[in-house]
Structure 1
Amino acid sequence: MSDFDIAQALHCSAEYTFPFSDLEDVRTEIFELSSDLDLRVTHNRKTMKSVANLVLAANRLKKSLSQFNSDYELCSAIMDCVVEETVFHKCWNSFQRFSCWKQLTLCDKNQKDFILNLKRSKLQAVILKGGYGDCKVSFEMTSYGPPPNSSADCMVVLLSVTKDLHMSCSKTDDKVLLNLEECSEERLKEISKEEDMVRFLFNKSGMVSLYTFESVKYPGWFISTSSEDSDQSVEMCQIDAASRVTSFKVLT
């Protein structure tokens, strides 16, 4: 069947162009298969002219069905000749902010909550006793698209303490630092993958009730707290760092 040439089945020359191939009759439909892959189907509009041309083409078939075992094989051979399959991949060059956002608090497995040290402009993780629940930092988490391809439970997010104060990452020597940095909402609407502004973004991933927050700019570095009660630091660390906790409950 691979040697079948539809031109051999027609009286017309190979240079003949069907009249229904005019661009004005072409229609394209796009079906989204996943976040980064679409199925694009291009076909001619259904008109009486196209039906008539199809009937004429069928009547011009010279070869008998003897070389095919069934009508299905003949149809498949014809379709192999006239249907062209092309795969398109979306190329994302930037992260765009979604309109949705939500308020949340973070708590590690040792029941440490995040608080803000105003004097040092740093986040700290402490075990809050009764009556001090209002000291927790209420983060505003904003989602960005497109989401990563690795998992349906993973998304790119911005974590904000106030309207213009956000978590960000920087690097000194071989160590990634967690900062609180001021930046206007307008500048964070769209962030190019190639810009330094990706320092504000984190990959939020996890299952059920525990999530990790990995730096987009510095892959392999995660927001973490200490497993020791006396250590109140909130820092970036690598996933296998000793005495650091990288999984958090997200409470809304």
Structure 2
Amino acid sequence: MACERYEKTLASDDASETDSAIYSDSAGFDEMDCSDLPAMSCRCNMHEGIKLEMWRHSTSMKQVVNIIIALERVKNIKPKSSEFGEEEVLNIIMENVIQARRVTAAEATPSYYKTSKTLQCSICDQFKKFLVKSSGSPRLLGVTLRDGNSDSKVRFNLSMYASPSATPNASQPVCLAISKSNLYLACTESDGSSPHLVLKEVTETLNTIKAGDQHDNLLFFRKETGVANNTFESVKYPGWFISTAFKDMEQVEVCQVPSSRITDFTLENK
């Protein structure tokens, strides 16, 4: 900031000159022409005229304007004596002071916008169990695939999203859709039960997803851990992660950590 501290002492009859110095870009001394006017503060001492002392600290423009208004009123009041008393000047200024209050803006509803980045992959846990679609019902299983059964693993379109409200180094919001279908992984709850993982059919294009709408349960925060491991945390239900059981052929679900279930996955492009 350009301004540090400045002082100027004026007699009462110099008020008009003070006025011009405050309002004009061509003040009597260059330092007063500060580009950061809200960062200046004024103090008056009427024993020696009007003493303007300006120093750098956090002050609102509203406070500065009120002080200028108070000085204008000082000019227009006819004193009973040659000088005002400190108490009288203080009362004039305090009539115009408005206490600045810090207002925290209400957080806007988070929105997530689909980017052009999409990754096609299969997903397996750290013990090489792949996510496989059950033949009898719309659910996923964690299965160890033998030679010749690699075609059984599900291929996913992992669509990446961006949010203006995201913090630096935040996890990547994604949607996980089964390739060549309208089925998405969704974290949902029903009848007050704990969140659980389902396959949800969606026919519309998901270019924008807002928190609170019908498709916000499709979003997961993908976080890379270690060299190639990934976790998938529900955006709608923080703390709930996609997981597999240690046993083979068990249903893929969501769980809270720490847990006896597996939450680390690798993405394979093959």
Give the TM bin, normalised by the shorter chain. 0.5 to 0.7
Quote how far apart the aligned CAs of 1:233 are. Answer: 1.6
Partner of 2:203: 184
Equivalent AA in structure 1 for residue 255 of structure 2? C
Matched AA of 1:178? L
Partner of 2:28: 62
Structure 2 unmatched ranges of 5 or more: 9-14, 40-58, 62-104
Are 1:171 and 2:179 an aligned pair? no
Tell me, yes or no, if the aligned pair for 1:164 and 1:185 is still in contact at 8 Å. no
Q: 2:20 aligns with which of 2, 7, 12?
A: 12
Q: CA deviation at 1:182?
A: 0.6
The code of the aligned residue for 1:209 comes to: A
How far is the alpha carbon of 1:8 from its aligned partner? 10
Letter in 2 for 1:213: F
Larger Rg belongs to: 2
- 2:145 maps to 128
Q: Deviations over 1:33-84 (max 9, x none)?
A: xxxxxxxxxxxxxxxxxxxxxxxx4xx4434x9xxxxxxxx49x83433889
| Matched AA of 1:171 | E
Check conservation: 2:243, 2:263, Cα contact below 8 A.
yes
Question: How far does residue 148 in structure 1 lie from its aligned partner after superposition?
Answer: 6.9
Answer yes or no: is 1:217 the counterpart of 2:236. Answer: yes
Query: Could you say what secondary structure the match of 1:78 adopts?
Result: coil
Residue in 1 that maps onto 2:211: 193
> Would you say the 8 A contact 1:147–1:155 is kept in 2?
no
Say if 2:112 and 2:161, in contact at 8 Å, map to a contact too: yes
Q: Is 1:100 aligned to 2:100, yes or no?
A: no
Whose strand fraction is larger, Structure 1's or Structure 2's? 1
Please report how far the alpha carbon of residue 119 of structure 1 lies from its aligned counterpart in structure 2 after TM superposition. Answer: 1.8
CA RMSD of aligned residues (A): 3.4
Is the contact between residue 121 and residue 158 of structure 2 (CA under 8 Å) also seen in structure 1?
Answer: yes
Give the letter for the 1:125 counterpart.
Answer: G
Return structure 1 stretches of 4+ with deviation > 2 angstroms: 1-5, 7-16, 60-63, 77-86, 88-93, 147-153
Could you say what secondary structure the match of 1:175 adopts? coil
CA contact (8 A) 1:147 1:154 kept: no
Shift of 1:144: 1.2
> CA, structure 1 residues 89+10, in 2 after alignment: closer, same or farther (shift >3 Å)?
farther
- The 3-state SS of whatever aligns with 2:145 is coil
Task: Flag the 1:62–1:165 CA change in 2: closer, same or farther, 3 A.
Answer: same
- Normalised to the residue count of structure 2, the TM-score between the two structures is 0.62
Residues 221 and 235 in structure 2, CA contact (< 8 A), matched pair in contact too: yes
List aligned pairs for 1:223-242, cutoff 5 A: 223-229=242-248, 231-242=249-260
TM (norm. structure 1) is: 0.66
Q: CA deviation at 1:139?
A: 0.3
Residues 215-224 or 151-160, more deviating: 151-160
Question: How many Å separate the matches in 1 of 2:231 and 2:183?
Answer: 21
Q: Cα distance 1:175–1:94, how it changes in 2: closer, same or farther (>3 A)?
A: same
Given candidates 153, 157, 160, the residue that maps to 2:177 is 160
